[in-house]
Amino acid sequence: MKAYKILTLIGSVLGLIITVGALGEVGFLIMGFGLNTDYQFVGLAISSSVVYIVALCVVFGIRNTRVSGIILIIVAVLVLLFSRVYGILGWILLSNFYGILGFALLLAAGIIALREKKTSLGSVTLVNP
């Protein structure tokens, strides 16, 4: 498996763990204590989870590394934009070590996928290891 696929897998899993965990914590506070919470945070957790799942589908579904790299960089930027749009709760979610690590891994995976070069040998195309 290529390095950018491994980085995407690790980053997406860490991102999913932290967003689903945060969503569960907010759900516990709503149901257990009857607190009124900001429903934008629920939207943040759901949209971030969808973005991480899209990153996994793109990397393992698209063979073109350039397209995968561009989409991974867009996904990494979207995670930051979601946190900025949704205010302080989004920054709390991203300020967690795993959230930042997931973002950094997705960004690094996108850059590595963009930099990967293919060499052709006659009629056979080989990818550099």
**Can you give the residue range of the structural domain that contains 19?**
3-127
pLDDT recorded at residue 53: 92
pLDDT in tens, 44-61: 777 888 888 999 999 999
pTM over 0.95, yes/no: no
pLDDT in tens, 10-30: 988 888 887 777 677 666 666
What's phi and psi for 117, nearest 5 deg?
Answer: -110, 145
Q: Give the contacts of 69 (CB within 8 A, at least 6 positions apart).
A: 4, 109, 110, 111, 112, 113, 114, 115, 116
3-state class (DSSP) for residue 2: coil
pLDDT recorded at residue 73: 94
Please count the structural domains in the chain.
Answer: 1
Percent of the chain whose pLDDT exceeds 90: 26
**Distance (Å, rounded) from C-alpha 4 to C-alpha 58?**
12
What six digits make up the tokens of 112?
Answer: 């590595």
58: number of Cβ within 10 Å = 19
